[in-house]
Chains A and B, each alone.
Chain A
Amino acid sequence: MSQYDDVWLVIPAYNEGQVIADVVEGARKTFPNIVVVDDGSADDSAKHIMSTGAHLVRHPVNLGQGAALQTGLAYALAQQGAKYFATFDADGQHQTADVEKMVALLRTGEADVVLGSRFIEQNGQVPWIKRVVLRTAATVSPTARKLKLTDSHNGLRVLNREAAGRLRITMNGMAHASEIVSFLAGADLRVAELPVDILYTDYSRAKGQSLINGVNIIFDISLRERGRR
């Protein structure tokens, strides 16, 4: 029994065989409940996840990170006693200590959703070009401004049951980060930000979002509301 029995970590993984087992085992020292969504990986990610104590859910085909997150949340929501849901990156850049802080804030009942931010406290870990682009994204996005967010594209988030149950990620690709923010802005939920540390290792840097992919994200977002049935 752990004090975090009611917390579920949702980790989307795509071709993370190299690191996934270490990341999961590291996180499981604190959080016993983890579901890893293998998003149709071509490598041996599934085998590595099976070797850990995490639940494994496998997409039969690759759908994208947004879809993997939604699947993981749906799975975790169905588990008994699950109250808090954290989205966590598979590449090892997030710290469980940060999740603990975020869960603690949710437990006080003062917020429904806590988002991680790289920019509340100035830290030198974020490469400067990335800092400029991400700050711009947070500043120009009307929804991020409404919520007064400093970082709209952080993968570390903790949601309570109400927020997780209402969230519907429809953007399968990387545009889901903006989609989540706009959902939070539209929903009647209390959103807070906490500073988090990001470990930019060579591995996570190589796997991370290239800035040019931002063009795809902007395109996806601008089409999101169109032609909806």
Chain B
Amino acid sequence: MNYFWIQLVLIAGAVILAFMFIRRWDAANTRAWKRIAFSVFVVANIYAILRPSDVTWFAHKMGVGRGTDLVLYVMVLAMGFLTLNTFLRFRSLEKKLTDLARTVAINEGARLNEERFDLDLPVSAPVNSSGA
């Protein structure tokens, strides 16, 4: 049996995975590709459910023994993309959370310490209404 095609697909998948890891992830066109990939996935899903024997036929073409094995291989790749996507998304969220919390902390802190030490900070000097 000739394994060439399946090897090509799996290696290409791994390379793309590594490439996306070091490149910017959230760019608009990366997002578009992710959506296209998802649509293809859904269509392929429905097709595979309707005509399971075609999956086996395609698996043979790719150099894989059974359709089930092909599905497994594709799942491993999909899982990899999913994990990476989640990881990068979490990290980007964490960065946003940090920036937000820092801004809140510094603003609150400046106000609190101004009160505690009766400081006269130019940033948020109390405005005295006239005639008070």
Q: How far is the CA of A172 from the CA of B123 in the complex (A)?
A: 28
- Interface residue total, chain A, C-beta cutoff 8 A: 26
Q: Enumerate chain B residues within 8 angstroms of A166, measured Cβ to Cβ.
A: none
**A35 nearest in chain B by CB position:** B109
User: A53, A56, A71, A229: which contacts B102 (Cβ < 8 A)?
Assistant: A71
Q: How far is the CA of A226 from the CA of B22 in the complex (A)?
A: 5
In contact, B98 and A58 (Cβ under 8 angstroms): no
Q: How far is the CA of A47 from the CA of B17 in the complex (A)?
A: 49
Which of A60-68, A93-101, A157-165 interfaces with chain B?
Answer: A60-68
Closest CB of chain B to A175's CB: distance in Å? Answer: 13
In contact, B109 and A61 (Cβ under 8 angstroms): no
Interface 0/1 of B102-124, CB less than 8 Å to A = 10111011101100110001010
In contact, B101 and A60 (Cβ under 8 angstroms): yes
Interface 0/1 of B57-69, CB less than 8 Å to A = 0000000000000
Q: Enumerate chain A residues within 8 angstroms of B117, measured Cβ to Cβ.
A: 53, 55
Closest CB of chain B to A92's CB: distance in Å? Answer: 23
Q: Enumerate chain B residues within 8 angstroms of A78, measured Cβ to Cβ.
A: 106, 110, 123
A117 within 8 Å of B by Cβ?
no
In contact, B98 and A67 (Cβ under 8 angstroms): yes
A-B contact pairs, 19 of them (CB 8 A): A35-B109, A53-B117, A57-B105, A59-B101, A67-B101, A70-B102, A71-B102, A71-B106, A78-B106, A78-B110, A80-B121, A172-B98, A225-B22, A227-B21, A227-B23, A227-B24, A228-B24, A229-B26, A229-B92
**A66 nearest in chain B by CB position:** B98
**B112 nearest in chain A by CB position:** A56
Q: If A170-B95, A226-B22 touch, does A58 touch B88 (CB 8 Å cutoff)?
A: no
B94 within 8 Å of A by Cβ?
yes
In contact, A63 and B22 (Cβ under 8 angstroms): no
In contact, A58 and B105 (Cβ under 8 angstroms): yes
**B107 nearest in chain A by CB position:** A57
Q: How far is the CA of A225 from the CA of B24 in the complex (A)?
A: 11
- Contacting A at CB under 8 A, from B65-111, are 88, 91-92, 94-95, 97-98, 101-102, 104-106, 108-110
Q: How far is the CA of A40 from the CA of B2 in the complex (A)?
A: 59
Q: Enumerate chain B residues within 8 angstroms of A61, measured Cβ to Cβ.
A: 97, 101
Q: How far is the CA of A17 from the CA of B13 in the complex (A)?
A: 51
In contact, B22 and A58 (Cβ under 8 angstroms): no
A50 within 8 Å of B by Cβ?
yes
Q: Enumerate chain A residues within 8 angstroms of B23, measured Cβ to Cβ.
A: 227
- Contacting B at CB under 8 A, from A104-121, are none
Closest CB of chain B to A40's CB: distance in Å? Answer: 8
Q: How far is the CA of A55 from the CA of B119 in the complex (A)?
A: 11
User: B25, B97, B105: which contacts A37 (Cβ < 8 A)?
Assistant: B105
Q: Enumerate chain A residues within 8 angstroms of B25, measured Cβ to Cβ.
A: 227, 229
- Contacting B at CB under 8 A, from A212-229, are 225-229
Q: Enumerate chain A residues within 8 angstroms of B22, measured Cβ to Cβ.
A: 225-227
In contact, B106 and A75 (Cβ under 8 angstroms): yes
Closest CB of chain B to A45's CB: distance in Å? Answer: 14
Q: How far is the CA of A81 from the CA of B92 in the complex (A)?
A: 35
**A225 nearest in chain B by CB position:** B22
